Amino acid sequence: MDARAVMRVTRVIGLLAAAGATLMLAACATGPVIRTRMALGANLASARTFAYVAHPGTDHGPYKSLTTQLLEQDVMGEMESRGYTLVSANAHPDLLVDFRVSVHSRVEGGYPMGPYWGAWGGPWGWGGWGDDDGPWGWGGGWGGGWGGGWGWGGGFYNGVYTVTKSALTISVIDRADRAVVWSGTATSTLSHSMMSHPGHSIERSVQEIFAHYPVPPR
């Protein structure tokens, strides 16, 4: 292969790598993807009170994680704006609220920038690096993927990178029936901004989820 051919191949590889980087940055800039489900016959407008479950999915120890504290604060604002009143779990609330998180990674790329599949990670949660949140930090939620799974792996030099996505699910439970009546999940591609401002990321995800809640703010 002559020098000109080598230069052309190098340029094509560079353009493909740049295109992949642009797509990754664009994905990080967009909002979360929201999916919701509702039980048949559920009438959330008739409920008046709510509380949080004793041990939400964002807690992995005998204490309330930072993630749980942030979620409770943000969800309280959304629920109260819809006419619900937060009460003690011992006061027999109409609804209970639970939180669950997960982080999954996959390897993509390879020439010609096609997918190079890797194993999906376990449900580490949005963990991070809190000082009271267990071995993964950040409440055992928003988890291990923030610290180790996020990134581009070998980088765009060889066209292989890792995409890590987080999922936050908020479930609303009928306390009397002990059954989920509504749930919303926000799925996002992790970015440097999300890692640097976790509180803002959680707040935005909660707002996006409740934008699809069947009872509008009052």
Write the pLDDT tens digit of every residue in 179-211. 999 999 999 887 777 777 788 889 999 999 999
61 within domain boundaries: yes
Within-domain flag for 216? no
CATH code, 31: 3.30.160
* 121 is a domain residue: yes
Span 109-129, mean pLDDT?
Answer: 41
Coil, strand or helix at 121: coil
The domain total for the chain is 1
In a domain, 139, yes or no: yes
Q: Measured between alpha carbons, how far is 96 from 147 in angstroms, rounded to an integer?
A: 31
Average pLDDT, the chain: 74
- Kindly report the pTM of this predicted structure: 0.66
Question: Cβ distance 145 to 103 under 8 Å?
Answer: yes
Burial of 14 (0-12, 13-18, 19+ CB in 10 A): exposed
The domain in which residue 74 lies consists of 3-210
